Amino acid sequence: MLTFIIIPILGFVTLWQVHADVLITATFQNSACSKFFYQNKEPAGFTNNNYARICQSWQNKYYFASLFDQGRRMPLYSASIYKYSDPGDNDNTDSLNDNWKYEPQLAYPNEGGEMKAITSAVKNDPIILNSQSVEINYSYTYHGIYYSRGHLNPASYQGSKKCKSATYTLTNAPPQPRDFNSQQWAATERKIAERLYQGCYVISGAIPYEADKWIPDNNNQRVAVPQFVWIAYCCPNHQNERTVAFLGHNGGSSSVTIGDGDNKLQFAPSEVKEIAVNQLESILKSRFNSNVSFQLFANDCS
């Protein structure tokens, strides 16, 4: 398939014409994956030129959208539709591929195809290493903690095996403390799922530290660790609570605060709070030092 890929680099916009099934673009508007946003409108407020917008593709089909911070080598959000599946998916014949993958076009803009397996050759490619933390071994401890690759867009929220397979990509998985990921955050994902119906819009994201924290350490800055992770949903047909957010403290050994004024919140280690979406938007604006107001769902999901 012939695709145009637009990536902002050092203040300029570079255009490549390539054969590709994955789309990296300067805006999600009118893209192949705009359908994963409520009213086809991506969240407002994420304005840094170093962000890559990725239409996540697996086996020539688009399954969700991600915003990837190329400087921190970590995703900032993934947007999806609850229990989405492509009309051509067939769980009776399709298989689940839960091996971790990477995005070739972040390294090689003219690379054809889609997300690919992380091989030994990939882990030793300096250009790929500059784009994604493909080599990190999560069997080691960093900062005295065991981390894991934590899904933003959960595999359990998908409607087919192929859609689940697409979630196993580094551009959908920032580092999370292993225990927090498997306990508090997994419980939060299950709690949210009980409220959702097929077709709800879900955006899951990560918030970096004010002073970035890195794996393997702050001298060898391979991938940034988020201080918080969040999930917000928009269910237009809900009579009550059409839109709600959850914000979780992604590890740490002490209490922290985030936000300003009436929207300031204090979190114990690994604590998760249910909050209003507009409160989360205020927190995002504060942490990202944005002059633009954040809006996760167009017209506040109305």
Domain ranges of the chain: 2-301
**In contact, 136 and 215? CB cutoff 8 Å:** yes
Mean pLDDT of the chain: 91
Q: 2-301 belongs to which CATH class?
A: alpha beta
For residue range 57-98, list pLDDT tens digits in order.
Answer: 999 999 999 999 999 999 999 999 999 999 999 999 999 999
Q: What is the pLDDT of residue 24?
A: 75
Distances, alpha carbon 252 to alpha carbons 67, 148, 213, 273, in Å = 25, 15, 11, 16
Residues 230-257, mean pLDDT to the nearest whole number: 92
Cα distance between residue 118 and residue 99, in whole Å: 8
Percent of the chain with pLDDT over 70: 92
Q: What is the pLDDT of residue 2?
A: 30
**Nearest C-alpha neighbor of 178 from the set 229, 227, 250, 232:** 250
Cα distance between residue 54 and residue 220, in whole Å: 26
Q: What is the pLDDT of residue 16?
A: 32
Band of pLDDT at residue 23, cut at 50, 70 and 90 = low
Cα distance between residue 84 and residue 175, in whole Å: 25
Q: What is the pLDDT of residue 11?
A: 37
pTM for the full model? 0.92
- Flag whether pLDDT at 101 surpasses 50: yes
- Flag whether pLDDT at 10 surpasses 70: no
